[in-house]
């Protein structure tokens, strides 16, 4: 890792930070190429500091990555302009300190991350495909429970929430399940008639 510092440059830190944010994290060669075509005073100065940091480490521009491009506020030069009736208006001329740090780009470290992302995408896609395959099977097995006595669409959804989808499952319900359904969903009517009706549907299917 190498760095370069330029102090007391006549440049507004707020304007220079706009350029520094764009360059930070970029490849050295790409950053110098981008700054060359940026119509900004700060772009030319920051490009010189980046080139100096690369030269200080003995690297080539394409071999390095810009880790940090920091713009610190320097002292402000105060000037005055004469105005009417012997008054004067204040003129502020800011200065900046530019510090750039570069390090050798590690291509080996970036490769496994891309592979991991591709594997994660493949896993999520396979999970989605499996869910799509499972969904039609569940729909094919499910019966229309609204045909049973005392069961409407709203109560059918409640039965489905409890894992009951077919006439056979309704017919096999025991007293404990019936009691919990009546307490939980306040079923109106005699649920035993619904079970007997379900048994008739099961007999027709068999």
Considering the entire predicted model, what is its pTM? 0.51
Quote the distance between the C-alpha of residue 84 and its chain's center.
58
Domain ranges, ordered by start, for the chain: 2-81+89-105, 140-205
Where does 2-81+89-105 sit in CATH, by number? 3.90.470.10
pLDDT tens string for the chain (206 positions)? 899 999 999 999 999 999 999 999 999 999 999 999 999 999 999 999 999 999 999 999 999 999 999 999 999 999 999 999 999 999 999 999 999 999 998 744 444 555 566 667 767 777 666 665 554 444 446 777 777 776 777 777 777 777 777 877 777 877 777 777 777 666 655 667 777 777 777 776 65
CA distance 120 to 64: 29
CA 84 to each of CA 79, 81, 88, 89: distance values in angstroms, whole numbers, following the listed order: 17, 10, 8, 10
The CATH number, out of the four listed (2.60.40, 1.10.150, 3.30.300, 3.40.30), of the domain defined by the range 140-205: 1.10.150
């Amino acid at each position: 890792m190498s760095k370069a510092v330029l102090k007391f440059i006549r440049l507004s830190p707020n304007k220079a930070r706009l350029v520094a944010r764009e360059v930070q994290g970029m490849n050295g060669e790409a950053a110098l190429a981008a700054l060359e075509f940026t119509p900004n005073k700060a772009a030319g100065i920051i490009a010189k500091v980046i080139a100096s940091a690369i030269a200080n480490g003995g690297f080539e521009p394409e071999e390095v990555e810009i880790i940090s491009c920091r713009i610190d506020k320097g002292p402000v030069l105060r000037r005055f302009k004469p105005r009417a009736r012997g008054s004067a208006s204040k003129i502020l001329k800011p200065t900046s300190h530019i510090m750039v740090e570069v390090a050798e780009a590690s291509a080996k470290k970036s490769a496994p991350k891309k592979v991991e992302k591709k594997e994660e995408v493949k896993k999520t896609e396979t999970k989605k495909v499996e869910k799509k395959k499972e969904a039609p099977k569940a729909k094919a097995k499910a019966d229309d429970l609204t045909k049973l006595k005392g069961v409407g669409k709203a109560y059918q959804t409640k039965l489905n929430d409890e894992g009951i989808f077919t006439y056979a499952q309704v017919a096999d319900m025991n007293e404990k399940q019936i009691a919990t359904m009546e307490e939980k969903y306040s079923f109106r009517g005699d649920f035993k008639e619904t079970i007997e009706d379900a048994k008739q549907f099961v007999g027709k299917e068999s």
